[in-house]
Amino acid sequence: MSVTREGHVEEVHVLLPAGVRAPESLSVIVALHGRGEAVRGPQRGALGWLDDYHLEAAFAALSRGRVRASDAASMASEAQLTAMTRALRAHPFRDVAVVMPYTPDLIEETPGSAAMEAYSSWIVAEMLPAVRTSLPALRADASHTAIDGVSLGGMLALDVGLRHPEIFASVGGIQPAVRGRVEAYGALATDATRCLRLASSDRDPFLRVTRELSSAWRARHVRHELVEYQGPHGYAFNRGPGSIELLRFHHGCFSRAA
């Protein structure tokens, strides 16, 4: 579907499960892509989660009810795979829609800058309402609305989500580009965000700062998860643990809120 941003029409892609049952039946994950897609421009970049990160394959894996080693590109431990499968048995994966807008290249912006604030306002006040108007099956309550992203998108998801706990009860960052932003986002998080997660991997260049951000939240007694996989920073990770983690964590939060 098309949504206007700063006078330009941009495509927002939505991945829906089969067999939508009724109006306002689907929980919503807003998924922001990385910088590699941002530099391609809005038309190609907005397809990052679908074309480059193979989100539909992750969707199929969770819908199957069992996450295999191959689904996570052999970058998840046996303990992680077992925990995912156990959680899916308790709460089968269903009734989740993923909303994928274009993520602009704001990597040089500082938290709270005018450009960051403009993008945040667009997500909250324009993009999400427009998508929900077009797709009435999407729920509008915060307890069933999440935002997450990878790398650049992970940083932006934290910025938008932590500033708007009234919109997003579930917020995450996957290999988030938070270098130079630990102090800002460390202070921004509160337990007003009901579910909060950071994810990284052993060869992620942002692993150290991701751990630092987790430590800052622990020092402030902010409840959250820090999940670490194996693997590099890039497409191989995004096509395995990245897409799986996007769905796994927030579906668990939605299930507990039901």
Q: Could you read off the pLDDT of 148-172 as tens digits, one per residue?
A: 999 999 999 999 999 999 999 999 9
pLDDT at 83: 96
pLDDT at 43: 87
**DSSP H or E segment with residue 225:** strand 225-232
Which of 169, 100, 165 shows the shortest CA–CA distance to 139? 169
> Residue 138 pLDDT > 80, yes or no?
yes
State how far the Cα of 159 lies from the Cα of 181, in Å rounded to an integer: 10
Does the 2-257 domain belong in CATH 3.30.360.10?
no
Global pTM? 0.95
Query: What span, in angstroms and rounded, lies between the C-alpha atoms of 103 and 99?
Result: 12
**Per-residue pLDDT tens for 2-56?**
888 877 788 899 999 875 555 668 999 999 999 999 999 888 889 999 999 999 9
Span 184-198, mean pLDDT? 95
Integer Cα distance of 35 and 153 in angstroms? 7
d(CA 163, CA 189) in angstroms, rounded, equals 8
Looking from the CA of 21 toward its CB, the CA atoms found within 13 Å total 8
C-beta of residue 160 within 8 angstroms of C-beta of residue 122: no
pLDDT of res. 10:
87
How high is the pLDDT of residue 4? 81
Element (H, E) at 9: strand 8-11
What does the pLDDT average to over 139-153? 97
For 41-45, which contacts have Cβ atoms below 8 Å and span 24 or more sequence positions?
A: 42/8, 42/10, 42/11, 42/102, 43/11, 45/102, 45/103
Domain boundaries along the sequence of the chain = 2-257
Task: Supply the angle between the helices 152-163 and 114-121 in degrees, to the nearest 10.
Answer: 70
Give the DSSP H/E element, type plus range, for residue 199: strand 195-203
- In three state form, how does the secondary structure of 78-133 look? HHHHHHHHHHHHHCCCCCEEEEECCCCCCCCCCCCCHHHHHHHHHHHHHHHHHHHH
As a dihedral over the C-alpha atoms of residue 115, residue 117, residue 119, residue 124, rounded to 10 degrees, the angle is -170
Alpha-carbon span 36 to 27, nearest angstrom: 28
Q: What is the pLDDT of residue 24?
A: 65
Distances (CA, A) of 42 to 37, 143, 193, 239: 8, 29, 29, 21
